[in-house]
Structure 1
Amino acid sequence: MIEANGLTKRYGERLAVDRLTFTVKPGQVTGFLGPNGAGKSTTMRLILGLDAPTSGTVTIDGRPFSKVAYPMREVGALLDAKAIHGGRSAYNHLVCLAQTNNLPKSRVGEVLDLVGLSEVARKRAKGFSLGMSQRLGIAAALLGDPKLLMFDEPVNGLDPEGILWIRNLMKALAAEGRTVFVSSHLMSEMENTADHLIVIGRGRLVADCTVTEFIDQNSELTIRVRTPERDRLAGLATGKGGVVAHDGEDALRITRLGMTEIGDLAFDNQIRVHELSPIQASLEQAFMELTKDSVEYHAAVPGRPAAGAIADAAAVATEVVSGAIQHGGR
């Protein structure tokens, strides 16, 4: 279990982590989310004792990480897949880690088999792709068979098979009663993997709940209705306070009204309905809604402000295509 209490880290005038208090429990995969610059990596470094907090505390099973006698037996961590001596083979890299943590040499072969690197075990790490480096980093994290695992962007560079493998691995580790704490920017992957979420923005805690609760609390229910009398139903739904958008020739997407209200509205006005179904918001949509005011870095199309670039994305695309056509016609 990881417990943070008032955890704060300041670099000069910059406040990277701001009074974070949360608990990461065993037996579940806990996703750690936040925009770039939110303080996720700093928080993970504070947990592992790689940085000292300005104030507050963070403990692992009631102790600071610095008090753990054999760290790899209790905590396995992957923060930077490329933090490996390039001149060493995968096998020798893991052997060195095993020796410094009093782990049996036989464990090296076991984790290499587990992550699928047995065939390249004697090759130097400098020739590894990002995906292979990720697998080696995961092997190192698993080397001590720890009860707590921390991963920072573990699926970077992995192919679809590798992503499915790490997803199932994390779920299996949690099912064994271990604590699994994983940071990622891939919302779809977190939606498929995590049981619980801790979300931060600008160093502060903004959500601590299950994935389902997070989506429900930060998104609006949308109902899809398919009917041959689309326009008439759209007018009636708008009159009842619904927000209506067309979804093809014979369908609508309606918010602000529930399924029962829409069904009764159609029935009372003798409108045939061929489909009436809820559209579940994604974790990505809920995350974007919750953290929109916490984003530190806003990208923009060259020559346009960020907000305008986002709002006018379709117009920008049209201008680019139009310009290309005109240029080609000269």
Structure 2
Amino acid sequence: MIELAGLTKRYGEKVAVDDLTFTVRPGIVTGFLGPNGAGKSTTMRMILGLDHPTAGDVRIDGRHYHELTNPLTYIGALLDAKAVHGGRTARNHLLCLAQSNGIPARRVREVLETVGLTAVARKKAKGFSLGMSQRLGIAGALLGDPRILMFDEPVNGLDPEGIHWIRGLMKSLAAEGRTVFVSSHLMSEMALTADHLVVIGQGRLLADTSMADFVADNAHARVRIRTPDRERLLDALHEAGITAVEAGGGVLEVEGGDSERIGELAARHQVVLHELSVRQSSLEEAFMRLTAEAVEYHAHSAPPAGPWGADGDTTTSRTVAQAVARTTAEG
């Protein structure tokens, strides 16, 4: 179990983590979500004692990280897949970790097999792809057979088979009664993996709830309708005080999930329906709605106006083009 109480971290005037209080419980996969800059990585670093909190407290099974003897046997973590000595082989990297934490050498062979790296155990880590590095980092987290596991963006660089594998691994670890805490920006993957969600924005707690309750509380349901009698249905809906909007492709959508009422209304007016279905918002849509005010970095769909302009034909662009042409000719 991981327990945070009023955890706060400041860097000068910047508040990276602001009074976080929540508990990561065993037996379930807890997803840790937030926009870029929300404080997720800083929080995970404080859990592991890599950063010291400005205020508050964080405990692992009732103790601070620095109080743990052989900490890899209590909590295993993957925070940065490339944080490995590139000159060491995969086997030697894990062997060093094992020896420093009183872990039998046989565990190195076992975890390499678990993550699928047995064939490259004697290859140096500097030649590993990101996906292979992720697998090596996961092997390091599993090395001490800990009761608590923490992963930051564990599917980065993994192919579809690898993503399917890590999803199953996290679920199986939780099913064994372990505490599994995972951060990811891939909402579709988190929706398939996590049972519980902790969501933060600008360092503050926004939600601490089950996956089902999070989507129900922050998402919207829409009734999707297709009909050859579009105008008749629109008139019937208007008379009933129901607003339908165009959704493209001849589809109408009505906010809310009252498909039964719409179906009965269509039947009374003898309107033929080709489709009547309820579409629930995704985890991504629910997340975007909840965190809209907490996003620190906003991108724009169109490039900002500047010296290059929309068509690139400005004084600056012509000057650069002429300079390049002169350089080419002189060369």
Letter matched to residue 5 of structure 1: A
The equivalences for 1:279-290 within 5 A come to: 279-290=279-290
Q: 2:249 corresponds to which residue?
A: 248
Deviations 1:93-127 (A, max 9, x none): 00000000010000000000000000110000000
How much has 1:143 moved relative to structure 2? 0.2
Letter matched to residue 14 of structure 2: R
Q: 1:278 corresponds to which residue?
A: 278
- Between the aligned partners of 2:86 and 2:6, the Cα distance in structure 1 is 38
Q: 1:323 corresponds to which residue?
A: none
How much has 1:261 moved relative to structure 2? 2.2
Q: 1:103 corresponds to which residue?
A: 103
Q: 1:315 corresponds to which residue?
A: none
How much has 1:219 moved relative to structure 2? 1.3
- Between the aligned partners of 2:167 and 2:257, the Cα distance in structure 1 is 36
RMSD (Å) for aligned C-alpha atoms: 1.6
The equivalences for 1:216-235 within 5 A come to: 216-235=216-235
Q: 2:159 corresponds to which residue?
A: 159
- Between the aligned partners of 2:5 and 2:243, the Cα distance in structure 1 is 43
Maintained 8 Å contact 1:31/1:197: yes
How much has 1:172 moved relative to structure 2? 0.3
The equivalences for 1:7-26 within 5 A come to: 7-26=7-26
More displaced 10-residue stretch of structure 1: 213-222 or 81-90: 213-222
SS in 2 for 1:30: strand
| Alpha carbons of structure 1 residues 238 and 38: separation in structure 2 relative to 1, 3 Å | farther
Letter matched to residue 246 of structure 2: A
More displaced 10-residue stretch of structure 1: 138-147 or 221-230: 221-230
| Alpha carbons of structure 1 residues 271 and 97: separation in structure 2 relative to 1, 3 Å | same
Q: 1:212 corresponds to which residue?
A: 212
The equivalences for 1:258-273 within 5 A come to: 258-273=258-273
How much has 1:232 moved relative to structure 2? 2.5
SS in 1 for 2:205: strand
Letter matched to residue 216 of structure 2: D
Q: 1:170 corresponds to which residue?
A: 170
SS in 2 for 1:293: helix
Maintained 8 Å contact 2:220/2:281: yes
SS in 2 for 1:157: coil
Q: 1:180 corresponds to which residue?
A: 180
Unmatched runs of 5 consecutive residues or more in structure 1 = 306-318, 321-330
The equivalences for 1:1-330 within 5 A come to: 1-239=1-239, 240-249=241-250, 251-256=251-256, 258-300=258-300, 301-303=302-304
- Between the aligned partners of 1:232 and 1:246, the Cα distance in structure 2 is 18
- Between the aligned partners of 1:48 and 1:175, the Cα distance in structure 2 is 24
How much has 1:211 moved relative to structure 2? 1.2
Letter matched to residue 135 of structure 2: R
Unmatched runs of 5 consecutive residues or more in structure 2 = 312-331
Maintained 8 Å contact 1:47/1:65: yes
How much has 1:215 moved relative to structure 2? 1.0
Maintained 8 Å contact 2:7/2:19: yes
Aligned residues: 306
Letter matched to residue 58 of structure 1: V
SS in 2 for 1:265: helix
- Between the aligned partners of 2:47 and 2:225, the Cα distance in structure 1 is 48
- Between the aligned partners of 2:279 and 2:133, the Cα distance in structure 1 is 39
- Between the aligned partners of 1:118 and 1:292, the Cα distance in structure 2 is 44
How much has 1:210 moved relative to structure 2? 1.2
